Structure 1
Amino acid sequence: MGNLKTKELTNIGYSTDKQKSMAINTIAKHFKHRNTNYIITLLTDIRNRPEAYIHDPATQKIAGLFMDDATKQTVNSFELTQQSLPFKIYGEDNIEASAIKQMELALSLPVSVQGALMPDAHSGYGLPIGGVLATRNAVIPYGVGMDIGCRMALTIIDADEKFIDRYSHQIKQAINIHTHFGMEGGLEMPQDHEVLDDPAFRETPLLKKLHGKAVKQLGSSGGGNHFVDIGVISLTDNNVVGLPANTYMALLSHSGSRGLGANIARHYTQIAMNNCKLPREAQPLAWLDLNSEAGQEYWLSMTLAGDYARACHDRIHSNLLRALGLKALYKVENHHNFAWKDKLADGTEAIIHRKGATPAHDGELGIIPGSMTAPAYLVTGKGKPEALYSAAHGAGRAMSRQQARESNTNSALKKMLTQADVTLIGGSLEENPLAYKDIDMVMQAQTELITVQGVFSPSIVRMNNE
């Protein structure tokens, strides 16, 4: 049974002596050659989905102990409304039909009250990327997404492009030392942040188990389109930041809550799907009632994951600025995979899910990036109720990752980077600039949603080497 202890069994929901004893005996008999991580994952899944293991001779005795608990859980079946609610689409001419169909499906849920589709939208799992959905007292884990609290952070720095030209070698060294990309691992130097002491980590067995991973991954970034960029930002006249309309050096980062958020998303999505039965095509949109224990646990966990994502950006920015001897003038940041309690135009309270969308209440600052060679925009929202106070979260994918790999070459990518005067550290063909929509076209499609306060141009880009 490896190093598995009874305390670990308690942490994954094996609360009685009978459950622990049965787990130990079963593992010793059928899984003694498996490693501890495999065993913990297996036992956790049996606890969460006993019906999937009740017919397997090796696991049926453990599953049987949890079947009674499962039958006590309220399982509700719901039908979709015959006609979906109408919703506003921004930049519809450049949005694929499948994303619109996904939004229509989401707006046929009985808990949905309003929706909107942003101009960078494309199809996803559950709610489309770029989808914004308001519900009544219900939270949809896949309406938030797997990377809970995925967010942007921009630090405007007391330096200009001359610093980048003069110290480009030192900047690249600092980025290599003080960032880490990829699904596993973290920074070599241990990181600290007050979020690691958040009492929420002690509130549920899942969060207790994930604390060690959160410690290890603090200050790191994931794969895909996550990045850390050094570049310059040109602020507009009379910008709300309050700085003179000059060009400043800036640090821009994009990443989320790492393994913490992904595990929370998987865990509560499974609970939602088990307890909220929908027609097959809508099952990924299963929700948790916020009055339920699972709903409250998810909200607590989602909030913690968002705070953790913010802490990762804090460490990235403070580490790099300290290493380069630079001073921050202003910092802007925003989530774009999250759910918020808010009020609709008529005063109705709702849960607003933004899966790949930037909060854009009146005067609210946000960041909308392009690609590794395209500009990012510092914006303020105009608070449009029909858009659920939202805007795009980026350029949006024009190609799938596979299409991006197959339709481009490394030599072509190098040529694009040279033409844009951008240095890429890491990166992949999946994230090449042609894989994304034209950010200026996306911005043009949402002029009624945001006001541009500044334009960021990347110079040195760090991404995962996939």
Structure 2
Amino acid sequence: MSTFSRLQKRLSRLGIESHFNNDIYTLNKENTSAQILLPSPLPLEQKAVEQLLNFASVSVPNSVGKVCMARATPDFHPGAVAPVGSIVATTQDLVIPAAIGTDINCGMRLFTTGLSFDQVCEQKSTIIAQLKRVLLQDERDVPVTPHSFQALFDQGLAAWLSALPQQGLWNSVNYERLHAELNKISGNHLIKADSQYAPEAFFEKRDIIRPASLGTVGSGNHFVELQIVDDIIDRHLAYQLGLEKNSVVVMIHTGSRDVGFYIGQRWQDRAKALWPNNEKQPKSGLFGLTDSHAQAYLQAMGVAARYAWINRIVITELIRKSLATIFHQDNSQLVVDISHNIILPEQEMNIHRKGATPAYAGQIALIPGSMGDHSYVAVGKGNADWLWSCSHGAGRAERRQAMRSKKVEYDKVNLPWQCITLKEERLREEAPTAYKPITPVIEAQQNAGLIQTVVKLKPWITFKV
């Protein structure tokens, strides 16, 4: 009996019908349905299935708000309350804060360095030493003011740039380039925010402040990685994006840090507190918000989303400054900044992406593998059946807790990549074997018409907190 046949029987006992055809699992339970794009070599996990159907069945008593469609991409695996790699579209009057959680607007950013692999190889030890100080040992000077935060949350990223104090990091940045690069931040124009939902600490002082989390990567699966353009698949688009074979690029994966935690936790608690007292609470922990509460949440979420974007901007500028010091040049350019853990108003719906990337026709997407596997730059195909989305990575194959008990050994001399971290346990938790292989994840999405790959990137140096 196949593994899926055994899982089918277990799911059937839970009242879940499941079918598999052409890399697509179709799930049905009572009035709820969902589809998962997952090639047969990759395992389907029961917990993730149950979480997806719970996500797809969220409703609020006495409300017309409902889930319209639920899908999942090949990086699908269990999350805390909602599965990673899931996309759920709801009506405009319904949002589900716990589905996005506290890592609001976690996303990927890719920029070119204008340097070749031959150039950087000669300075590898210097690069590691400099970026280790900046990224892992908090050696940075990033001053901001309450006024600049007010501008950020109430007006947007451009207003924030214009309101920054001319001190510290901001004395050395290229503002013309920064303003131009705002156009490459996907979803920025869809976000609304209001400073009333921001942490009060940002506005308690009138002089310069230096938030502890601004310009930091964060723990877990977040990273900064120097990568090499290994293979050009679409030469025309790669040229447009400034991606040349054997050139070095930087990929950043991080989110809204403590601001996301502050807002995400408060609104999860609020959604639970607003649940009608006479109604049974959902065991899934997924409480919906409707009407004015939903709109207020989206503005609060927007505060964290904008903080995540400036966090990635700051990290970019810190790396640019470090590399310019070493190589006495800075011809770097942003390729794209794209979110994969956010709710966006699209197609007259609220599209919740939990570890999934927007992939509208012509939209640039970033799909990283593990720190020992390739990453891909792709372009979306605008597949409505999959809610205009694709995966945000390969997806975990083993939970972090399980990896902690395993012995992971690296031959650091022969490996083509290197992980720089201050915590040895991170090498076990984030080992390549903890993740699915990226190739079947990419191929399944190409075959299903979600994406077309543009460039294949090879890992070189990964920084993890």
Tell me the TM-score range normalised by the shorter chain. Answer: 0.7 to 0.9
Partner of 1:231: 227
Separation (CA, whole Å) in 1 of partners of 2:268 and 2:202: 17
Partner of 1:175: 131
| Stretch of structure 1 that moved more, 261-270 or 441-450 | 441-450
- Note the C-alpha offset of 1:265: 0.6
Q: Indicate yes or no: 2:211 matched with 1:215.
A: yes
Partner of 1:444: 443
Superposed CA offset, 1:126-148 (max 9, x none): 32111110111211112212200
* Percentage of pairs with the same residue: 27
| Stretch of structure 1 that moved more, 326-335 or 352-361 | 326-335
Superposed CA offset, 1:219-264 (max 9, x none): 1111001111112124331225514753311111111000000111
Partner of 1:406: 405
Gaps of 5+ in 1: 1-80, 344-348
Partner of 1:83: 30
Partner of 2:336: 332
Superposed CA offset, 1:187-244 (max 9, x none): 5423449556424497326532466798331111110011111121243312255147
Aligned length: 369
Structure 1's 82 and 280: CA in aligned 2 closer, same or farther, altered over 3 A? farther
Structure 1's 122 and 309: CA in aligned 2 closer, same or farther, altered over 3 A? same
Separation (CA, whole Å) in 2 of partners of 1:435 and 1:109: 31
Q: TM-score, normalising length from structure 1?
A: 0.74
Q: Give the RMSD, CA atoms, in angstroms.
A: 2.4
Matches within 5 A, 1:25-424: 83-91=30-38, 93=40, 94=42, 95-110=44-59, 111-136=66-91, 137-180=93-136, 187-192=139-144, 197-200=151-154, 203-204=195-196, 207-209=199-201, 215-234=211-230, 235-236=232-233, 237-239=235-237, 242=240, 243=242, 245-276=244-275, 279-289=280-290, 291-292=291-292, 294-325=293-324, 326-343=330-347, 349-409=348-408, 412=409, 414-415=410-411, 418-424=413-419
Separation (CA, whole Å) in 2 of partners of 1:323 and 1:203: 32
Separation (CA, whole Å) in 1 of partners of 2:356 and 2:441: 12
- Note the C-alpha offset of 1:331: 2.2
| Stretch of structure 1 that moved more, 298-307 or 389-398 | 298-307
| Stretch of structure 1 that moved more, 350-359 or 437-446 | 437-446
Structure 1's 195 and 172: CA in aligned 2 closer, same or farther, altered over 3 A? farther
Structure 1's 300 and 372: CA in aligned 2 closer, same or farther, altered over 3 A? same
Structure 1's 272 and 256: CA in aligned 2 closer, same or farther, altered over 3 A? same
- Note the C-alpha offset of 1:295: 2.6
Separation (CA, whole Å) in 2 of partners of 1:322 and 1:429: 31
Report the AA paired with residue 247 of structure 1. Answer: N
Structure 1's 205 and 319: CA in aligned 2 closer, same or farther, altered over 3 A? closer
Counterpart contact for 1:85–1:114, Cα < 8 Å = no
Superposed CA offset, 1:413-450 (max 9, x none): x23x5543112111431111111111112112211211
Structure 1's 460 and 245: CA in aligned 2 closer, same or farther, altered over 3 A? closer
Secondary structure at 2:300 match in 1: helix
Greater RCO (Cα-Cα under 8 Å, separation 6 or more): 2
| Stretch of structure 1 that moved more, 294-303 or 367-376 | 294-303
Secondary structure at 1:462 match in 2: strand
Structure 1's 244 and 263: CA in aligned 2 closer, same or farther, altered over 3 A? closer
Gaps of 5+ in 2: 1-27, 60-65, 155-192, 325-329
User: Which has more helix, going by share of residues?
Assistant: 1
